């Protein structure tokens, strides 16, 4: 009996455990909170990621460890890796945790990124804004997610407000100033790399965000094949450079017909939730196969899929369940503003069938605005 340990007990851990059950796997999650949603049906340990006694018990009870949360302290991941196999490696985790290290690596690999500057002081920010210009985004280097730890500078007059908002974090988590990209699209490459180096990707996904949080994903993204090839090549180079094992997502902007890399997530990713019903092997199952050294499953897509995120609270599941191709995911969390509490995936054999299911579901749920950009894309030839 193999037990997979997961650091972090959120919905990603929950969906990993659900996908691992048919493989006969056992799981143990480690999470500091009392109400981690994976712990509703996965054995769990409640301990801080820095609690050595908790980590030691975790290490003793699992055969391999992985992450549902990328901001696990790198030193805890390293400590664990001395006792039990950890995938992705603590080094890959450390790079992906730090926007500066990540963008520097992308650049070294010949992957274009938005112009960026490391900011350690107010004087740095003044110099960088003068050199780079506005609009720009000031971001924390570490611990930012879902649009948190970001401040958008629209004019030069915003520098004071940006520093007031984030300057105090310059010493603790570091800051980076990025050029604001007026992108046409946001896409992600979901990729998996096995322990033996085998590399696969799912069809590219187009993503829409609301207030920095993913709102909807559509797969396959309709992009020129040259950009698809380039995006997959970027993901492969990153995976090989980091000797990466497991699933990761590479988020890219399409701007002026070019790709610019935004960031990578060293774990299964929200933009890949559609793979549960929309592909031969889901991102969750392939992540488990990769970290366990099992053969990878096919990433072939089945038709077309759209995932809608439920942020803050859940709408009624009935309109989704009433669709022949509708799938409902309730994470078992209490409602809270800005919190991901569930998602739905609509899958169909053709773009037209997906558009029609999406339109009726969006109307019935009172979420027409959320589905509108996806419908607009599906209406393009």
Contact positions vs ligand AMP (CB under 6 A)? 114, 137, 144, 147, 178, 180-181, 186, 209, 212, 251, 262-263
Half-sphere exposure of 30 (CA within 13 A, CB side): 28
Least separation in angstroms between residue 178's CB and ligand AMP is 4
How far apart, in Å, are the Cα atoms of 16 and each of 22, 68, 135, 277, 291?
11, 9, 39, 14, 12
Q: Do the beta carbons of residue 193 and residue 244 sit within 8 Å? A: yes
- With CB atoms as reference, the residue minimizing the distance to ligand AMP is 181
CA 69 and chain centroid, separation: 10
* 151 φ/ψ angles, rounded to the nearest 5 degrees: -135, 125
Q: Which is nearer to ligand AMP, 253 or 310 (CB)?
A: 253
Label the pairing between strands 26-31 and 3-7. parallel
Q: Do the beta carbons of residue 247 and residue 176 sit within 8 Å? A: no
How far apart, in Å, are the Cα atoms of 295 and each of 196, 290, 320, 360?
9, 7, 34, 40
* 132 φ/ψ angles, rounded to the nearest 5 degrees: -85, -30
Least separation in angstroms between residue 350's CB and ligand AMP is 28
Least separation in angstroms between residue 248's CB and ligand AMP is 14
Q: Which is nearer to ligand AMP, 25 or 189 (CB)?
A: 189
Least separation in angstroms between residue 1's CB and ligand AMP is 38
Q: Which is nearer to ligand AMP, 122 or 152 (CB)?
A: 152
Report the sign of the C-alpha dihedral through residues 309, 111, 185, 159, in that order: positive
Q: Which is nearer to ligand AMP, 262 or 281 (CB)?
A: 262
Rounded CA-CA distance 282/378 in Å is 23
Least separation in angstroms between residue 190's CB and ligand AMP is 15
Least separation in angstroms between residue 89's CB and ligand AMP is 22
Q: Which is nearer to ligand AMP, 49 or 151 (CB)?
A: 151
Least separation in angstroms between residue 47's CB and ligand AMP is 27
Q: Which is nearer to ligand AMP, 270 or 281 (CB)?
A: 270
Beta strands in 51-169 (DSSP E): 64-67, 116-119, 136-140, 150-153
Q: Do the beta carbons of residue 188 and residue 250 sit within 8 Å? A: yes
Q: Which is nearer to ligand AMP, 266 or 326 (CB)?
A: 266
């Amino acid at each position: 009996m193999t037990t997979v340990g997961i650091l972090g007990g959120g919905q990603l851990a929950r969906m990993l455990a659900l996908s691992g059950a048919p493989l006969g796997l056992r799981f143990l999650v480690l999470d500091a909170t009392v109400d981690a949603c994976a712990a509703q049906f996965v054995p769990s340990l409640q301990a801080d990621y820095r609690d050595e006694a908790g980590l030691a018990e975790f290490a003793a009870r699992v055969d391999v460890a992985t992450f549902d949360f990328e901001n696990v302290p790198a030193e805890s991941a390293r400590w664990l890796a001395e006792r039990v196999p950890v995938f992705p490696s603590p080094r890959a985790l450390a790079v992906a945790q730090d926007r500066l290290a990540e963008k520097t690596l992308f650049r070294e690999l010949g992957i274009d990124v938005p112009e960026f500057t490391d900011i350690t002081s107010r004087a740095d920010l003044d110099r960088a804004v003068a050199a780079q210009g506005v609009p720009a985004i000031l971001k924390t280097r570490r611990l930012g997610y879902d649009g948190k730890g970001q401040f958008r500078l629209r004019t030069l007059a915003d520098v004071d407000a940006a520093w007031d908002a984030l300057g105090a974090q310059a010493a603790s988590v570091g800051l980076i100033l990025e050029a604001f990209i007026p992108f046409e699209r946001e896409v992600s490459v979901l990729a998996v790399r096995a322990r033996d180096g085998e590399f696969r990707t799912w069809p590219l996904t187009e993503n829409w965000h609301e207030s920095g949080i993913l709102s909807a994903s559509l797969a396959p993204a309709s992009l020129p094949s040259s950009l698809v090839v380039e995006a997959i090549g970027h993901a492969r180079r990153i995976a090989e450079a980091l000797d990466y094992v497991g699933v990761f997502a590479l988020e890219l902007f399409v701007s002026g017909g070019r790709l610019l890399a935004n960031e990578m997530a060293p774990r299964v990713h929200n933009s890949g939730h559609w793979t549960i019903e929309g592909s031969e092997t889901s991102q969750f199952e392939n992540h488990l196969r990769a970290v366990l050294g099992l053969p990878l499953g096919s990433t072939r897509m089945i038709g077309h899929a759209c995932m809608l995120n439920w942020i803050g609270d859940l709408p009624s599941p009935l309109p989704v369940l009433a669709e022949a191709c509708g799938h409902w995911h309730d994470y078992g969390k209490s409602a809270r503003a800005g919190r991901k509490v569930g998602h739905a995936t609509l899958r169909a054999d053709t773009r037209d069938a997906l558009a029609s299911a999406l339109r009726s579901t969006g109307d019935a749920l009172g979420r027409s605005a959320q589905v509108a950009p996806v419908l607009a894309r599906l209406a393009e030839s």
